[in-house]
Amino acid sequence: MDDLTIWPEVEKAATEKRRELVLQGPTVDKRISCDGGLTSAIYSLKLLNYLEVSQCPSLTEIHEDIQHLTNLQSLILCRNKLASFPNVIGNLKSLKVLDLSVNNLTVLPESITQLKELNTFNVSCNNLEVLPEGLSQCTKLSNINISKNRITSFPADLYSEKLDLLSSLVASDNILEALSGEVHILAALKVLDLSNNKLKEIPPELSDCPKLKEINFKGNKLNDKRLEKMVNGCQTKSILDYLRGKKKGRPGEDDAGGSDKRKKQQQRKKKVADEQDEMEELNKMVVRVLHVSDASTALTVQVSAEVKDVRPYLVCCVVRGMNLKNGNALKRFLMAQTKLHDDICGRRTTATIATHDVQLLKGPLVYDVKPPTELKVVPLGRKEMTALELIRHLQLEADEMRKQKKRQNVTGLHKYLQLLQGKALYPCLVDAEGHVISFPPITNSEKTKIKKSTKELFLEVTSATSLQTCKDVMDALIIKMAELNKFTAEHGEDAGSDGEGGGPPEPATSSETTSELIVQQVRTVDQDGNLKVVYPSKTDLPKDISNLTVIW
């Protein structure tokens, strides 16, 4: 590790006090190879809450100075060649996401069990033979993925009432020889994948897991050949019913009365669990994140250096699955956006939201500046004009409004117009054809205006305050969209009449009634192509909202 080398991404993160750093691919790998590891300057970025170093085969170890990054919430070190990890990881008390997948690890540091905030733990595709004892101390664990290792058994304390949030356990492609009947203690377990192991039995007690929705035992040579045939072809419910039948008793074990009583108890228990699941599904808002690397047509935004002195902060993303077609869905969405502008955005003085129809965009996009006389835009509901002309029109309208209402104080419109006073250059978002699609904080373009027929939305939040402000506003916007989509999905045609000119609402198809939103990451880069920010990252979108589920 070369202490004298400071990589440009690291230097920029330090200068701009960034909270995210992503290093990946051949260029970074070459530096690691030449320097003998990561530059030590990374470990001085104490504001970082998201660090990703991935796809670097030359990365074989991490220095123990990583313990200084005490604000880290997500540590992603996947697809490298790590052979070990320092035991100081237990000092990263804020860590929620730990991804060490696709490396060469043979053992894990014991201090992992000290990570009290850990939610997601992924060590798949390594050479691990055992897991550390004490994982039950990580009481907030929700997702564990240990697939494609050499693990022969689970630590005894994995079956613990302390892990009452554990919903997904993926341990496929190991050499597990047994699953304890105590698995039923994991009351929140929904997904269990133990395919391609060395299991001989599946404990009947598994059927007592009240929320279990998906199991996979394929590729195990079970003693019960009927059950083996079922796990290779049947659905979860059929397998659990079969296990439940085995658990209830074999012929001659109990008298008929006792058997009937137990059967009624099981039916009541199942009914309660089903009702709880139904309420949970009804109240749940699902946001699924599509990683930018998974989308070949992903939009990118290049940010010019000149915006730094005008309106420097920008985050963007693409949202699919938002139903604007039914009833008053579009009207409700626009009203919600206005309320966010008035509240969290401080009447646009803190931040500004703009929404666009993806089908009307030509990427890549550029966030740039132009002189007021050269910036031409087609404002919402108006004809094309220069930014200077638009500002004059809006100023006159604001003055007239103030006179009519006999106010001495400036209006909300006045306030955000004043943000551009004295600026020689105005910010704008420009598409690949040179069209200005957004002029923050004033307006976005009629050309990309969303309609009831819009299926994909490009969301943009800009601010002169901070990057975190942009992220907070975007988080709030997506949560509100999830709420609105859930409302539309539940109420269907009862959600109101047509918001664009009257008439009955169109019937919703089955694909339109789902409330799930898909948020596709969008990267913003500088003029040299270096990553500035990707939204959403794993530290975005609040995890403490009870009915919001974010799927990565």
The amino acid sitting at 31 is: R
Torsion of CA 9, 11, 17, 21, to 10 degrees: 30
> Residue 467 is encoded by which pair of tokens?
């990057």
Torsion of CA 293, 296, 297, 300, to 10 degrees: 40
Predicted local confidence at residue 75, as pLDDT: 93
> Residue 474 is encoded by which pair of tokens?
């975007």
- Give the closest residue to 74 by CA, choosing from 56, 109, 54, 48: 48
Predicted local confidence at residue 546, as pLDDT: 55
pLDDT tens per residue, range 302-324: 999 999 888 999 999 999 888 89
**Segments making up each domain of the chain, as ranges:** 285-551
Residue corresponding to tokens 């898909």:
518
- pLDDT band at residue 502 using 50, 70 and 90 as cut-offs: very low
Model confidence at 199: pLDDT above 70? yes
Distance of CA 113 to the CA centre of its chain: 25
| Of 101-105, 342-346, 376-380, 409-413, the least confident | 409-413
> Residue 355 is encoded by which pair of tokens?
């929404």
Distant-in-sequence, close-in-space partners of 142: CB < 8 Å, separation ≥ 6: 119, 120, 165, 166, 167, 168, 188
Predicted local confidence at residue 539, as pLDDT: 79
Residue of higher predicted confidence among 496 and 327: 327
H or E segment and range at residue 301: strand 300-303
Predicted local confidence at residue 249, as pLDDT: 58
- Burial class of residue 255 in the structure, from the number of CB atoms within 10 Å of its CB (0-12 exposed, 13-18 middle, 19+ buried): exposed
Distant-in-sequence, close-in-space partners of 206: CB < 8 Å, separation ≥ 6: 179, 181, 183, 184, 192, 212, 215, 240, 243
- Distance, CA of 547 to CA of 549 (rounded, Å): 6
Q: E strands along 132-291, which residues?
A: 143-145, 168-170, 191-193, 214-216, 285-290
Residue of higher predicted confidence among 269 and 99: 99
Model confidence at 482: pLDDT above 90? no
The number of CA neighbours under 13 Å toward the Cβ of 432 is: 7
In the three-class reduction of DSSP (H, G, I as helix; E, B as strand; rest coil), residue 284 is classed as coil
- Give the closest residue to 104 by CA, choosing from 87, 81, 123, 86: 81
Q: What is the mean pLDDT of residues 37-63?
A: 91
In the three-class reduction of DSSP (H, G, I as helix; E, B as strand; rest coil), residue 405 is classed as coil
In the three-class reduction of DSSP (H, G, I as helix; E, B as strand; rest coil), residue 261 is classed as helix
Predicted local confidence at residue 349, as pLDDT: 82
Residue-by-residue DSSP string for 528-544: TS-EEEEES-TT-S-S-
- pLDDT band at residue 1 using 50, 70 and 90 as cut-offs: very low
The amino acid sitting at 424 is: A
pLDDT tens per residue, range 107-162: 999 999 999 999 999 999 999 999 999 999 999 999 999 999 999 999 989 999 99
Residue-by-residue DSSP string for 428-446: EEE-TTS-EEEETTTEEBG
In angstroms and rounded to an integer, the radius of gyration of the C-alpha atoms of the chain is 28
Fold of 285-551: Phenylalanyl-tRNA Synthetase; Chain B, domain 3 (3.50.40)
What letter would DSSP give residue 275?
H
- pLDDT band at residue 101 using 50, 70 and 90 as cut-offs: very high
Model confidence at 31: pLDDT above 60? yes
Q: What is the mean pLDDT of residues 229-252?
A: 76
Model confidence at 512: pLDDT above 90? no
| Of 313-322, 382-391, 427-436, 508-517, the least confident | 508-517
CA terminus-to-terminus distance, the chain: 33
The answer to whether the predicted template modeling score (pTM) of the entire model surpasses 0.75 is: no
